[in-house]
């Protein structure tokens, strides 16, 4: 299994939530998802939108189009 309870994870896909860091508090192996405690909120997330924070990564902040940028939402990239 990719994650276990207590792991610190980062959200790697989604819109504005990319880069959010939280802790796994519950696992649903059958549905391939984890319940994550973010700051002030708990949500269920599919395993494919989470990465361990122990793997080096960078979050590229959005630069809005009127400034010659790429898009509206942060981008997650492994180093």
Is the domain spanning 8-78 CATH 3.40.109? The answer is no
Q: Give the integer Cα–Cα distance in Å for 22 and 6.
A: 9
| Cα–Cα distance list, 40 to 21, 34, 43 (Å) | 12, 17, 10
Q: Give the integer Cα–Cα distance in Å for 45 and 36.
A: 7
Q: Where are the domains of the chain?
A: 8-78
Q: Is the pTM of this model over 0.75?
A: yes
Q: What is the pLDDT along the chain (79 residues), one digit of tens a residue?
A: 689 999 999 999 988 899 999 999 999 999 999 999 999 999 999 999 999 999 999 998 876 666 555 567 888 999 9
């Amino acid at each position: 299994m990719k994650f276990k309870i207590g792991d610190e994870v980062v959200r790697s896909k989604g819109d504005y939530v990319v880069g959010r860091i939280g802790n796994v508090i519950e696992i649903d192996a059958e549905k391939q998802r984890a319940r994550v405690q973010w700051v002030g909120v708990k949500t269920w997330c599919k395993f494919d939108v989470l990465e361990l924070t122990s793997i080096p990564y960078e979050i590229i902040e959005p630069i809005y189009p009127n400034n010659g940028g790429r898009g509206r939402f942060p981008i997650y990239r492994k180093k």
